[in-house]
């Protein structure tokens, strides 16, 4: 299945059906009176969040969605049939944005959510609705109310606990393959990862979801390489795993460049908890490795984990560090929620 994480679609809810003007005409009923029925209600546009779906590819080739209009009313007080709703199934983590691609209209983060986005128009009244003691033969009938319509953007932000960032060929795909059952493409040339990959990683008796993102290069915020659009998938992550290629001559420059791109993207990524991993330790001489670790520690003021995704060296320590950051963030969120509840 192809991966698509954003698309533009047109939505229109159904128009309400028209009311009708009719009169009861029966042989033995002298004063039949008005019996025009009301129009039916137009169909709604509904978003439903489903599990086991991680792409918006269904909306790549079908981009216009129009709900059914309500049917007109009929004589004998018969109300027109309502229009059928259109239910759009989307993955967990989908956002519905206005045409400006900035205003968030819906944020769908839980499986099973079902939200009416555009309501269908109400049906018009038939002439029986306007019968009064002074107007016993009304001919007025109303047209149905029009439905709503708009263009919107769908943007998917994958729900993952931890996100992998780094330069191309930093070993992110190798790390994901070594720690989960995911099978990302691995090769010795840049940009082998062209779309986000998810893997379920086990740490002791617990599991978490790790997202491997396409590599960033300098100027990604200006569109260089694959740009930084895929960083949207990191926004929901609790922690970032920043992998650095230990065979690079300037590991400190590589680290600072990625941090610069995270800051340029915004959305609070620069402030997320970060675990730094110096990868490919099996290919670096011991003295050179120590010097690079010292440089990174001094600049980042954080612990630096030495690892090799290819051989498994240092990988368990990195996974436990990621898990510890997730637990700490969850506990902090729960404490903040309790404190807010206590003040109410």
User: What is the DSSP track for 4-19?
Assistant: --EEEEEEEPPPPPPP
**Whether 221 and 303 share a structural domain:** yes
Residues 256, 111, single domain; the answer is no
Whether the pLDDT of residue 82 is over 50: the answer is: yes
Collect all residues with Cβ–Cβ distance below 8 Å to 224 and sequence separation of at least 6.
217, 218
Residues 152 and 166 both lie in one domain: no
Looking at residue 37, what is its pLDDT? 95
**pLDDT band at 225; cut points 50, 70, 90:** very low
**Same domain (yes/no): 147, 227:** no
224 is in an annotated binding site: no
Instruction: Confirm whether residue 166 is marked as ligand binding.
Output: yes
Positive/negative CA dihedral, 86, 92, 98, 103: positive
Computed on alpha carbons and rounded to an integer, the radius of gyration of the chain in Å comes to 29
pLDDT of residue 30: 77
Quickly tell me which residue has 């809810």 as its tokens: 13
End position of a domain, from candidates 106, 121, 156: 156
Q: How large a percentage of the chain has pLDDT more than 70?
A: 90
The pLDDT score that the predictor gives to residue 96 is 96
Is pLDDT above 70 for 254? yes
Residue 22 is assigned to a ligand binding site: no
Instruction: Give per-residue pLDDT as tens, 2-48.
Output: 678 889 999 999 999 999 999 988 888 777 889 999 999 999 999 99
69 marked ligand binding residue: no
Q: Is 241 annotated as a binding residue?
A: no
Q: Is 194 a residue whose pLDDT tops 70?
A: no
Is 296 assigned a ligand-binding role in the annotation? no
**Residues 66 and 111 reside in one and the same domain:** yes
Count of domains in the chain? 2
Q: Do residues 40 and 147 share a domain?
A: yes
- The answer to whether 192 is annotated as binding is yes
* Residue 277 near residue 241, CB atoms below 8 Å: yes
Contact in structure between 213 and 164 (CB atoms under 8 Å): yes
Residue 317: its pLDDT value, please?
A: 92
What gap in Å lies between CA 21 and CA 77, rounded to an integer? 10
Does residue 112 have a known ligand-binding role?
Answer: no
180 in a known ligand binding site: no
pLDDT at 95 over 50: yes
Q: Assess whether 44 and 138 both reside in one domain.
A: yes
**CB–CB of 341/312 below 8 Å?**
no
CATH number at residue 40: 2.70.210.12
Lowest mean pLDDT, pick from 42-46, 136-140, 173-177, 278-282: 173-177
For residue 318, what is the enclosing H or E element?
A: helix 315-343
State yes or no: 170 annotated in a binding site. Answer: yes
Domain boundary among 156, 184, 200: 156
Q: How far is CA 300 from the centre of its chain?
A: 31
The response to whether 279 counts as a known ligand-binding position is yes
Question: Is residue 199 annotated as involved in ligand binding?
Answer: no
Query: Confidence class of residue 189 from pLDDT cuts 50, 70 and 90?
Result: very low
Here the CATH number for the domain that contains residue 203 is: 3.40.50.300
The answer on pLDDT for 342 being more than 90 is no
Is 101 or 224 the better-scoring residue by pLDDT?
101
Residues 131 and 166 in one domain: no
CA–CA distance, 283 with 57 (Å, rounded to integer):
40
From 80-94, 137-151, 255-269, the region with the lowest mean pLDDT? 255-269
Domain that holds residue 31: 1-156
pLDDT score of 220 more than 60: no
Asked whether residue 336 is marked as a ligand-binding residue, the answer is no
Shared domain check, 45 and 84: yes
Quick one: which of 119, 157, 143 has its CA closest to 11?
119
- 141 with 185, same domain: the answer is no
- Where does a domain end: 156, 184, 210? 156
Nearest residue to 209 via CA among 158, 170, 169: 158
More confident residue, 67 or 310: 67
Helix, strand, coil % (nearest 5) of the chain?
A: 25, 25, 50
Whether residues 100 and 203 share a domain: the answer is no
What integer best gives the mean pLDDT of the chain?
86
Q: What is the pLDDT of residue 187?
A: 52
Contacts of 312 (CB under 8 A, 6+ apart): 178
pLDDT band at 327 (very low <50, low <70, confident <90, very high): confident
- 251 pLDDT more than 80: yes
Whole-number pLDDT of residue 84:
96
| Cα 195 from Cα 175, distance rounded (Å) | 16
Q: Is 135 annotated as a binding residue?
A: no
**Residue 154 binned pLDDT confidence (cut-offs 50, 70, 90):** very high
User: Cα–Cα–Cα angle for 233, 94, 103, nearest 5°?
Assistant: 90
Find out whether 12 is annotated in a ligand binding site. Answer: no
Q: Known binder of ligand: residue 195?
A: yes
pLDDT for the residue numbered 226: 45
Q: Does the annotation place 290 within a ligand binding site?
A: no
pLDDT reading at 185 higher than 60: no
The whole-number pLDDT of residue 174 equals: 86
208 annotated as ligand-binding: no
d(CA 168, CA 215) in angstroms, rounded, equals 4
Q: Is residue 151 located within the same domain as residue 29?
A: yes
**Was 280 annotated as part of a binding site?**
yes
């Amino acid at each position: 299945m192809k991966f698509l994480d954003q698309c533009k679609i047109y939505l229109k809810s159904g128009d309400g059906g028209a009311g009708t003007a009719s009169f009861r005409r029966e042989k033995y009923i002298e004063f039949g009176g008005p019996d025009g029925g009301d129009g039916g209600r137009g169909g709604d546009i509904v978003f439903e969040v489903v599990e086991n779906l991680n792409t918006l590819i269904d909306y790549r080739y079908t981009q216009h969605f129009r709900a059914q209009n309500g049917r007109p009313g009929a004589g004998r007080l018969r109300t027109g049939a309502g229009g059928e709703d259109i239910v759009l199934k989307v993955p967990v983590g989908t956002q519905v944005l206005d045409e400006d691609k900035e205003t968030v209209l819906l944020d769908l983060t839980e499986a099973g959510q079902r939200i009416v986005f555009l309501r269908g128009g109400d049906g018009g009244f038939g002439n029986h609705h306007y019968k009064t003691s002074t107007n016993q033969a009304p001919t007025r009938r109303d047209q149905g109310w029009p439905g709503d319509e708009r263009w919107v953007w769908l943007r998917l932000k994958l729900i993952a606990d931890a996100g992998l960032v780094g330069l191309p060929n930093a070993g992110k795909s190798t790390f994901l393959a070594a720690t989960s059952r995911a099978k990302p493409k691995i090769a010795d040339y840049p940009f082998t990862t062209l779309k986000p990959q998810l893997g379920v990683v086990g740490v002791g008796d617990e599991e978490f979801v790790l997202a491997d993102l396409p590599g960033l290069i300098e100027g990604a915020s200006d569109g260089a390489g694959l740009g930084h659009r895929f960083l949207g998938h990191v926004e929901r992550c609790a922690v970032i795993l920043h992998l650095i290629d230990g065979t690079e001559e300037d590991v400190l420059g590589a680290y600072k460049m990625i941090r610069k791109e995270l800051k340029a993207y915004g959305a609070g990524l620069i402030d997320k908890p970060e675990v730094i991993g110096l990868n490919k330790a099996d290919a670096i001489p011991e003295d050179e490795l120590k010097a690079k670790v010292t440089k990174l520690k001094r600049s980042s003021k954080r612990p630096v984990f030495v690892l090799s995704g290819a051989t498994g060296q240092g990988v368990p320590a990195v996974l436990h560090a990621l898990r510890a950051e997730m637990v700490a963030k969850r506990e902090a969120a729960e404490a903040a929620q309790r404190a807010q509840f206590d003040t109410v």
